[in-house]
Structure 1
Amino acid sequence: MALLVLILALQLCCVVHCIRHACSRLWIVAILVFPLLGCLAYAWFEILPAHAGRREVRAVRAAMSRKLDPQRAVRRAREALDMADTAANQSALGDALAETGAWAEAAVHYAQALAKSAGGRDRACKVKLARAELEAGNARPAHALLEELPPSGSASENDRVTLLLARSLDEMGDEDRALALYEDVGSRLAGAEAQCRQAALLIRVGRFDEAIAPLEEAERRARRIDRLERMRDAAMYEWAARTLAELRAAQP
């Protein structure tokens, strides 16, 4: 019953919007004949484009496109690569594959892009390859790539590389160096990934009380960031809140 009321309300809103904005009356037919699909199609083709300049709407549309056709970008990148086997097209295919979580395959294309770059010195491509190797579970080659990287002129880029380096050390079992890097880079990077990874490592080695401080910082940051960023990393912030509550409850 509640669902029926919701669909009727959605239909009404779409019909009113259609009339007020002088859209094709064929939309009204579609909305009335196909209540849910008609409303979704109307929102996609008529409402969202009017607000396409807003960052939140762009993010929602991109997420919807990925949800509806997650392989679309991969197909287009493969077609471009078939036309021209260049470093840029290899890297673009790696980006598309990484977006779908196919990190091992993405690493192959990043490596090929790097081989095609001038002298194999493309720093940005090396960072992408290191991350792909790390996400694919290959911490040692990722660590080797990151260790040999020269510093960038961008402080924020250096911090992102440091976070990847800390993750590689974490996965290789070098807990002390990883913790030191997490704490250091966490004081500068936006978001709370460094704090959450630091807390997870502290918990894994049995230092439960020490994990509370970085989780509290993650909690503070979650209240300050914008809604889009919080939605993007929702699972991480939910884990931090839940784990912090459990650690506090376990304290004497």
Structure 2
Amino acid sequence: MIWLVTSICIQIICAVHVIRTGRNQIWMLFIFLFSLLGCFAYLMLEVMPAYWGNRHLRTARAQVAGKVDPERDVRRAQRDLELADTAANHIALGDAQAARGRYAEAEAAYRKGLALGPGNDWGTQVKLAQVLFERGSSREALTLLDGVPEVSRGSEWDRRGLLRARLLADLGRDAEARALFEDVMSRIAGEEARCHYAAFLIERDDRVRARQVLEEVEQRARRLDRTQRVAQADMYRWAGEKLAELRRASA
């Protein structure tokens, strides 16, 4: 009985805190649905300062917040846009919509931002090319990407190179795409490039090279901590499943 009363009191305290501080009301659902576990999640991920030095806490908070309130960034961008119809706010809305997989809305926002801006916004032009690719307009996306001035070799150069490789693959220019994939994945951080290349190879029925690439992903994933793996869990799950299929096929 004492445990039940204590649990209810803690839930009420947390609920009152949500209301008084103006936090997202969806936390009320978690608090009352999951009892003390919901309260603990609220305290650890919402109340505790986001600027604490523990990067694992910051990562966990961002991941859970994204699941609890996936529309948060979209709403914030829309509010900012209502206050000021600027190029930067349209681009921010495009970023938020693209992150949610709403590529038509992202395309419209990026185009508006480019139209309002002073010109030569090459970063946004690359983002527009990305969402055009996601919408199936690879030819237009490649034309747009070709119009962007070259940058010095580095992370941005590699990111554009990966997009170009995917565009070339989608357009059936396999030899160019393969050479670019091989070049980019040797430098780019993370396993995204390897996974895209493996998918390309599987589609072209080059199972031997696809298995080699996915085995590299598997080996490198073992050196990551849990937080890093969880951040891209779907990608690593896909890689593991495809690697298992390739191994069974060659057994």
Aligning the two structures, in what range does the TM-score lie when normalised by the shorter sequence? 0.7 to 0.9
Q: Which residue of 1 aligns with 2:17?
A: none
Cα distance per residue 1:92-144 (max 9 Å; x no partner): 111111121111210111111112222x2111111211112122222122211
- Paired residues in the alignment total 230
Alignment RMSD (CA, Å): 2.7
Q: Report the Cα distance in structure 2 between the residues aligned to 1:84 and 1:94, rounded to whole angstroms.
A: 15
Q: Which residue of 1 aligns with 2:81?
A: 81
Q: Which residue of 2 aligns with 1:102?
A: 102
Q: Which residue of 2 aligns with 1:166?
A: 165
Matches within 5 A, 1:41-120: 41-45=39-43, 49-50=47-48, 52=50, 53=52, 54-118=54-118, 120=119
Q: Which residue of 2 aligns with 1:5?
A: none
What amino acid maps onto 2:41 in structure 1?
Answer: A
Cα distance per residue 1:157-178 (max 9 Å; x no partner): 1000100111111112212211
Cα distance per residue 1:12-34 (max 9 Å; x no partner): xx97xxxxxxxxx9427769x95
CA contact (8 A) 1:51 1:57 kept: no
Q: Which residue of 1 aligns with 2:28?
A: none
What amino acid maps onto 1:172 in structure 2?
Answer: L
Q: Report the Cα distance in structure 1 between the residues aligned to 2:68 and 2:128, rounded to whole angstroms.
A: 28
Q: Report the Cα distance in structure 2 between the residues aligned to 1:223 and 1:51, rounded to whole angstroms.
A: 31
What amino acid maps onto 1:106 in structure 2?
Answer: A
Q: Which residue of 1 aligns with 2:139?
A: 140
Q: Which residue of 1 aligns with 2:23?
A: none
What amino acid maps onto 2:167 in structure 1?
Answer: S
Q: Which residue of 1 aligns with 2:10?
A: 27
Q: Which residue of 1 aligns with 2:19?
A: none
1:206: how far off? 1.6
CA contact (8 A) 2:45 2:64 kept: no
Q: Secondary structure at the match of 2:148?
A: coil
Is there any run of 5+ residues in structure 2 with no aligned partner, and where?
15-30
Matches within 5 A, 1:144-223: 144-153=143-152, 155-223=154-222
Distance 1:39 1:84, change over 3 A: same
Is there any run of 5+ residues in structure 1 with no aligned partner, and where?
1-7, 16-24
Say which of 22, 38, 41 aligns to 1:40.
38
Distance 1:173 1:47, change over 3 A: closer
Q: Report the Cα distance in structure 1 between the residues aligned to 2:154 and 2:188, rounded to whole angstroms.
A: 10
Percent of residue pairs bearing the same amino acid type: 43
